Structures are given as structure tokens and as C-alpha cells.
Amino acid sequence: MTSNQPYLLRAFFDWIVDNDLTPYIVVDATNSLVDVPQEFVQDGQIVLNISPSACVNFYLDKDGLSFQARFSGQPRSLSMPCEAVLAIYARENGAGTVFAPEGMPADDSAGSEAPVLEEAKTDAEVPPQTPPKPRGKPNLKIIK
């Protein structure tokens, strides 16, 4: 049976973009088939913004993911197999999923509880929420 990861990756990508959020992926940069800028890899992983506004020529199918993006102003071509993607999430609220590494069973036939996945850590800034508007009469100030 083929892996469901490429299908889930596409579904989460579409869902995040359809909700006007920014899709980020965490990639295992130690995979030999991963082609990413190594100078941005930390602890064997790289976090990439894959929003339509951040990358061009985006292509995702059951075999892999490829696109072009700018790093420090320089255009770069990136590619990776789907199994190298460890997680996909929305930058703004962290909604997404973490994928089990290949070779690890998704479910345990012994009937034990499912593992609890921790939220992916990222250095991406979360924009502050706008405070609620005060109620009452509008107030206009003249500034000279």
C-alpha cells in the first residue's frame, strides 16, 4: 500500500492556505534526497515557509515537493521527498500535523494508547492579536 503522507500533506497545505494562514513545513535535512540551503539547517532540520506568496513553481505530488524561494535575497531551488517532511502547520496558530517517521507503525496492534504528539517548536513570530475595540461613543482627536 502506498503512503498516505503525500495526500495528507496536500490536504493540510490546501486547508491552511484556504483559511488565509501561512503554511510552514519542518523538513529532515539529513535525508540524502533533500535539496535545501544547508546554511539554514539547524539540528538536522529546516523550517520552510511554503505559502504561495513566498515560493514560486510550487509542485507537490505523491513523490515529492519542489519549489523556488529566496534566501537572503538569493533565489534557490528546493526539492525533497514527501517522507522527509516531518510536520506541516500554520504559522499563526500552530494548527497542523506531525508525521510519523517512515517505518514506524501509525497504529499499535497491541491496543495501547496512541502516542501524544507535542506541538512543533518554531522561531517564527506570531503576530500580536489586535485588542478589542472599545465600546461607546467614537472619539476624534485633531493633531496639528
Domain that holds residue 74: 4-93
Q: Which residues of 60-83 are buried (b: 16+ CB within 10 A; e: fewer)?
A: beeebbbbebeeeeeeeebebbbb
| pLDDT mean for each 10 residues of the chain (144 residues) | 90 94 93 91 92 92 91 90 93 90 50 41 46 59 71
Q: Looking at residue 81, which CATH number applies to its domain?
A: 2.30.30.220
Q: Does 88 reside within a domain?
A: yes
- Check residue 1 and give its pLDDT: 84
Considering the entire predicted model, what is its pTM?
Answer: 0.69
Question: Number of structural domains, the chain?
Answer: 1
Residue 47 lies in a domain: yes
Q: Is residue 142 part of a domain?
A: no
Domain contains 65: yes
In a domain, 53, yes or no: yes
User: Is 15 within the bounds of a domain?
Assistant: yes
Is residue 141 in a domain? Answer: no
Indicate left, alpha or beta for 82 from its phi (over 0: left) and psi (-120 to 50: alpha): alpha
